[in-house]
Chains A and B, each alone.
Chain A
Amino acid sequence: MKNTWFLPEILFLLLFSLPPLFWLHDNYMILGHDSGGQIDFITYYLQLFSTWSNQLNFGISNGLQLGFLILQLPELLFSLLAHSVTAAQQLSSVFWFAAMGLSMYFSIKSFFPDKKHRWLRLSAALLYQYNFFILQGWFITERAKFAQFVAVPAIFAILHHCLSGKSSVFQSTVLLAIILFFFNAGGSLPFYGAILVIGGIVFLVQTLDDLYVKNFSRIFRNLATVILMAVLTLLYNAYWLIPSVITGKQSFGQVVSGSGGVESYLAWQKMVTQYASFVNLFRLQGIPDWYSTQHQYSKIFLENPVFILLSFLPIICIALSFRYIPKYLKKQEFSFTYIISLFFIFIVGLFLTAGSRSLLGSGYEWLFTHVPGFIIFRSTFYKFGVLYWFAFISLFSIALHIFLEKIEDFQWRTILGSAIIVLILGYHWPYFTVNFFQFNSPFSTRVRPPEYVFEMKDFIRSHLNTGSFFLLPQIKDKFKADGYTWGYWSLDILVNQLSNQPVFTNNSDDEFIQEVYQSIRDKNKAQFLEYMSFLNVRYIFWRGDILDSKGKSLEAMDQENKNFIESLASEQVHFGEWSVFSLPELKTKETVYFTVPLECKSCLQGKEQSKKQNYAVHIVKPYISITPSSNFYPLVLMKEKIIRLSLQPSFDKLFQYELLISHKRFLEITLFAEFASSNSRENELFENFHLSLERVQEMIDRSPNTEKRKKSQNIDALLDSMLSDLENKKDEIPLEVYKKLEKEILKHKTVLVFEENILKKPKQEQKTESINIPFSAYYQLPHGNELLLLSENQGEKEYLLSREEEIFVEKGSYEIDFQQTKSIPFVLIAHLQPDNTWETVEPTKESFRWEGQILAETKILYLPQKYNSGWKIIPKTDDIFKKIFYTMFSAENMEHKNLGTSGQYWVIEDNSNFSGPVEVVFETQYWFYLGGSISVISFLITGVIYILRKIKRGS
């Protein structure tokens, strides 16, 4: 009984871990957005064992998801126990809620174990559960973030006690490795940045302290301990670490460059941290979503004076408590290394969480661009926030303890302590609502799917077990998200949760899929069925309840498309708003090869959209430190002039700077629109904006022809972004200002667009005509198209264009067609070859393994899965060890080519040794098997050592 005095505290924390029961009653569940919520969790969990998923379109690597096998064990357990999705989600959410609080509680308790520290422990644990950083995660049940929040306090305490010699090395090492095994943040490497920082700080502080007290033997012991901890953690987590490293090797560069390169990552990082100023972080705010006008609850915290005052109270308490810290250090109530470690975590956490928005932001940007791999911390606010929140909450609770101890009367201390607890809960009142799940009405992550969703799932599972699904209507959402009138909205396609079979839809810019939808719009039955045959589609899935993010639901065109499908397929089943149509028996694989029509005019529009989105990512909003209404504003203009002069030697930098200034002028006017329309300096602001755009225009004119296109695209993207911003703020700014701004932007946009005059041309043509062409001509060739034909209206001239060269053409109007001039392998899918020179591989039951034949005449082996360098061809074998060996060490080194998102192929050389049955395997799967074996063996060895130690001690 002696050691159970703290149980009421635990019960108190458990009681306040129950809000999920309130959030998810009455069959509500968390689905959509990035929540990872599943209608059928067990089926989803089993799919995690495969490193390649062929569930959507042409598949995708799952190599970075393996950590979820352990992270989602609680959800698996509760799904097995409970009979409803809602109950399982309720229980697993309560688990995570409690785990965060208890981790902080026991961490703090290990430093402050006495009864008199009750309020310190409770306030720390409660604030660690109830804060807006975590609430932002609850909106999508962000298990990876929760796991990070559970791991950080535990690791801090374990490391501190072990390195300061207060706990056993073996037990601490195993405990730390086990915690990082279970709370692995889903195997997301960026989340480990915070763990490394904590470990590094605790180790360094302890080492420096040992140096000071000349305890050199402990330094070596600690060094060995930290290495041991790292090794054991790596071994325990080998099952996801090894596949992650392999996946990174396969696609890191591809992903980075595909997303717009380092610059776009930096731009993203700036966007995520744009409100993470130190002052906002001092208030435990700065969460990016908060500053959107659509946010559900942030307004009151940002604008109400009482809540503003409350938000400053913790940091004021911390600052005031600093006066008393030395006293507590002297009487040994606080450990010196503990307090210093907390301070350093606070300082480093502040710097890293603020990212480039920090006062030392240029330092962060330097790390971002110069330290290899640092780019993975692009969402710095979310990845490092735990450091700052942990240190802040710890220091705040210590401050509360210091002040409460000054009250000598026990009753008053209890009353005040209770009041603080109530205040913490009351201040975080959104926890006791369900509004925070809603992100763009009617879309919410807390939804109650209609009954027909479950009926359809059951029917598909029991009756439609072969062939793929094709979705209608096509996705029209600008984010390519799947949305429904009942609130679901996500980039994850909902139908994927109903079926194990592949689903095809246009949730990406895949031109092939676009062509399939085009064939429906064209009512081209033969073409459509040929596509369906190629994709092995057996069913058309019709959803009558779609809704996009702009509120558009079914359109007349969708109904026409449905009529078209009804003319060639029979309705198999119908539940509520959903129907499944069964296609007639399709041709067999001998006829799967066909030519994709290359007159892909529809691609132009698609390209235009995707291109603009890419540019939008590059645009970073300049920060306005001194507003036009300030008396110091002329200093801003003077500073800009000085910078301009200093940048004169570098034309490119000056151009980028002018773009930034134009954007800044624009923002100044929109942000301070009232000032702009009412102040006598209104004309000055508009004049400055006009001048900045003129300067940009002038610089484009002065650019060499080869640079003009790039620079025009830059300004065009910026102008697009301004127009979009302006449209969003239409209701917030005076009409007069709106019109003036729009006029100014459009004026420059038109000029810039029509002055662009560069196209592409083969070198051998050497045409030198110089002309203007329509804007829509500036698109890159769709992947797989070799040549572009450009002809004048009169049809007299034709230019052959390839992707490598450039051409200058005369002013006029042109038509653009894509033409195929070469046969395989440069077109999307090859012609049907009567001599069977093309071979395809066939799916097996496992999505990471396909089977095929290489015959003497086989020239090309085609795999209808998205390109990934991890796919290897090996001789077919049933021996798993041989298979692993072949995959890792002796896969045939053939020319492996990318066919865009629609597939890949290998060129079989005439002198290839390969013949007969082969397997095409995704190598990451076998690395997963290897990593998994290492993890299991490591656990077994640790268990044996533990038992031996016990026996030894017993004897």
Chain B
Amino acid sequence: MKRLSVISLLSFFLSVVITFQLILELLEKRHYQDFLSGAFFVILLIYVGCLIMKRKDFLEKE
């Protein structure tokens, strides 16, 4: 359950980061977009890492 929560949290962060990107684009304030893209990239890597860590959970029913 704990790991699942982390996954949900990461998904939420990704959505927030990308929504900020959208708002900045609409406001034509592009200065911080690269920073946010970096954040997105790092969170995505962590997310994939978490999925790999959970491999055991997905094996159980195989």
Residue positions of A touching B, CB distance < 8 A: 209, 212-213, 277-279, 282, 305, 308-309, 312, 315-316, 319-323, 325-326, 329-332, 336, 339-340, 343-344, 346-347, 350, 359, 625-627, 630, 632
Contact = CB atoms under 8 A, between A and B. Distances in A.
Nearest to A343: B48
Interface string B48-62: 100110110111011
A919 to B, nearest CB: 59
B26 A309 contact: yes
A359 B41 contact: yes
Contact of B37 (A212, A282, A305): A282
B61 A331 contact: yes
A278 B25 CA distance: 13
Contacts of B55: 209, 212, 336
A316 B51 contact: no
Contact of A326 (B4, B34, B40): B4
A248 B31 CA distance: 43
Nearest to A360: B41
Contacts of A309: 22, 26
Nearest to A335: B58
Nearest to A324: B11
A308 B54 CA distance: 36
Contacts of B33: 277, 279
Contact of B7 (A326, A331, A359, A632): A326
A332 B34 contact: no
A326 B52 CA distance: 10
Contacts of A315: 18
A305 B26 contact: yes
A282 B31 contact: no
Interface in B1-43: 4, 7-8, 10-12, 14-15, 17-19, 21-22, 25-26, 31, 33-34, 36-38, 40-41
A627 B32 CA distance: 11
Given A278-B34, A279-B25, A330-B57, A316 B48 contact: no
A316 B22 contact: yes
Contact of A340 (B15, B41, B48, B59): B48
6 closest A-B pairs by CB? A278-B37, A319-B14, A322-B11, A323-B11, A312-B22, A319-B15
Contact of A277 (B26, B34, B51): B34
A953 B9 CA distance: 54
Contacts of A630: 31
A627 B33 CA distance: 13
Interface of B: 4, 7-8, 10-12, 14-15, 17-19, 21-22, 25-26, 31, 33-34, 36-38, 40-41, 44-45, 47-48, 51-52, 54-55, 57-59, 61-62
Nearest to A319: B14
Contacts of A325: 7, 51
Nearest to B60: A330
A835 to B, nearest CB: 72
Given A282-B18, A315-B18, A359-B37, A323 B61 contact: no
B15 A627 contact: no
Contacts of A209: 55
Contacts of B22: 308-309, 312, 316
A351 to B, nearest CB: 9
Nearest to A329: B58
B26 A350 contact: no
A308 B18 contact: no
A625 B34 contact: yes
B26 to A, nearest CB: 6
Nearest to B55: A212
B34 A359 contact: yes
Given A282-B18, A336-B55, A630-B31, 14 more contacts: A279-B34, A282-B21, A308-B22, A315-B18, A322-B47, A323-B11, A325-B7, A325-B51, A326-B7, A326-B58, A332-B61, A340-B52, A347-B44, A359-B41
A786 B55 CA distance: 72
A633 B28 CA distance: 18
Contacts of B62: 332
B48 A323 contact: no
B15 A279 contact: no
A316 B38 CA distance: 16
Contacts of A332: 58, 61-62
A336 B57 CA distance: 11
Given A277-B34, A316-B19, A323 B12 contact: yes
A120 B38 CA distance: 29
Contacts of B48: 340, 343-344, 347
Contacts of B26: 305, 308-309
A901 B59 CA distance: 65
Contacts of B41: 278, 347, 350, 359
B7 A312 contact: no
Given A322-B11, A330-B57, A627-B31, A340 B21 contact: no
A313 B8 CA distance: 19
B11 A319 contact: yes
B51 A339 contact: yes
Contacts of A279: 21, 25, 33-34, 36-37
Nearest to A350: B41
A867 B15 CA distance: 58
A209 to B, nearest CB: 8
Contacts of A305: 26
B18 A319 contact: yes
Contacts of B59: 213
B44 A320 contact: no
Contact of B14 (A213, A278, A322): A322
A144 B2 CA distance: 48
A779 to B, nearest CB: 42
A298 to B, nearest CB: 15
Nearest to B10: A322
Query: Which of A312, A326, A339, A359 has the most chain B CB atoms closer than 10 A to its own CB?
Result: A326
Contacts of A277: 33-34, 37
19 contacts: A213-B59, A277-B34, A277-B37, A278-B40, A309-B22, A312-B18, A312-B21, A316-B22, A322-B7, A323-B8, A326-B4, A326-B7, A332-B58, A332-B61, A359-B34, A359-B37, A359-B38, A626-B31, A627-B31
Contacts of B58: 326, 329-330, 332, 336
A320 B38 CA distance: 18
A339 B47 CA distance: 12
A260 to B, nearest CB: 29
A340 B22 CA distance: 27
A326 B31 contact: no
A482 B18 CA distance: 46
Contacts of A329: 51, 58
B12 to A, nearest CB: 7
B29 to A, nearest CB: 10
Contacts of B14: 319, 322
Contacts of B17: 319
B10 to A, nearest CB: 7
A331 B60 CA distance: 10
